[in-house]
Copies of this chain bind each other. A is one copy, B any other.
């Protein structure tokens, strides 16, 4: 009876943009992580007013809300774990650039790649660039604070958000920040909401800052015989006076997967390779590469290949882009982690992962954003094999614990979602989690917005990948 009333109210509000059939509902029940849930309603609002109305209805009928972009996220942020109402933002894709103010205003459904293209058409740049940028939406990037290879020089999504329009858990409309890069008027709700995984408010518009697009780039591949020197090279480069725009690492196993999958020409025997990009004034780049070469020579690293043409450079970045598909291609399910450690601890993490590989008999490749300490140990396992699943769960748990022990974090860029919430207390302590919960409680006392994420359930302390 109550269900019918909510249904008719949503129908009245959204018409054809409300989906109730089982096939539609099932197709909104998963994301790039694990688990499958079925929401009761799938909605596609196209205005702030409609979002406000949906939230007010959700409050009235006591239904949870699950905002969603393209569903590419890797930590369960978009999963409708308690059913309820999915808000699919993918169709709401208005976007405007203001080149003289160096800003873009965007609705949540705009693809990240659209924002990149729009900025570049005006000699500007929007640096955050998650691997999924061709398909993912800015709304999802905002919810999860997406990163990408530009992080080492240019930071992550949050660093480019200067203002938000937000629908609160009660359906009220607020604006945070504004159109200026600097703003210290009251609390920084913009940076609190970006990365809060849709649990504190629903972002309906964002103002993004852009930066001047560098004139040129140059890329080098550095080849290592052992992981220790690869690790040492990262700090060595970053203290040489050059600021690389990308610094990506692939371990031995990642290198070989890529060679097998894409037939790219890489040193199969290397312990690791580091891809380093510098950007800026064209003539400076060769000098910067020379500075890097000299700095590395001092610690005995000598094998550096600098791309001589744009084609060679593109080829090197194809290597990095090929890692993920190569892992998927090689069979079974990909479990992609993003534990992040202080720069000097990268070799320790490499060593630990190598041990876990043997201990749990797992296929693990390691690659990631070396300049941020943000590694992606990526496991490939048969998720129909119960023993394999348990091994994966235990290995991932050991990676989390070790990252925390090294002074790092559970998640560098994928978010907590459902995947990592069991470990929140280990990193933040009871008081730390209580402080975070106090904010959630204050802003969403009825737990309407994306419930079941970030905070562990009572007694939840283990990673569970299977969905029994």
- Which residues of A approach B to under 8 Å, CB–CB? 98-103, 122-124, 144-145, 147, 151-152, 155-156, 158-159, 168, 172-189, 191-192, 194-196, 200, 211-215, 235, 238-243, 280-281, 283-284, 287-288, 291, 340-345, 369, 372-374, 407-416, 420, 424, 427-429, 431-433, 435-436, 438-443, 454
Contacts and interface: CB of A to CB of B under 8 A. Distances in A.
A211 B416 CA distance: 27
A136 B88 CA distance: 48
Contacts of A431: 168, 172-174
A395 to B, nearest CB: 19
Given A281-B281, A431-B173, A443-B439, A182 B243 contact: no
A192 B182 CA distance: 15
Given A182-B156, A284-B281, A101 B213 contact: no
21 contacts: A123-B240, A168-B435, A174-B435, A176-B432, A178-B427, A180-B341, A180-B408, A181-B372, A182-B413, A184-B415, A184-B416, A185-B411, A185-B424, A186-B428, A187-B440, A212-B240, A212-B242, A214-B243, A281-B281, A283-B287, A439-B439
Contact of A283 (B211, B238, B284): B284
A185 B172 CA distance: 27
Contacts of A182: 147, 151, 156, 340, 369, 372-374, 409, 412-413
Given A175-B432, A176-B432, A188-B191, A412 B183 contact: yes
A178 B374 CA distance: 13
B343 A187 contact: no
Given A281-B281, A428-B175, A429-B175, A215 B195 contact: no
A37 to B, nearest CB: 22
A443 to B, nearest CB: 6
Contacts of A343: 100-102
Nearest to A166: B435
Given A100-B235, A191-B191, A435-B189, A180 B123 contact: no
Contacts of A440: 187
A196 to B, nearest CB: 6
A17 B291 CA distance: 50
- The residue among A156, A159, A238, A281 with the most chain B CB atoms within 10 A of its own CB is A281
A187 B159 CA distance: 15
A291 B284 CA distance: 14
A122 B283 contact: no
B283 A342 contact: no
Contacts of A441: 442
A179 B100 contact: no
Contacts of A195: 184, 187-188
Contacts of A407: 178-180
A247 to B, nearest CB: 12
B239 A99 contact: yes
B212 A424 contact: no
A159 B159 contact: yes
A430 to B, nearest CB: 10
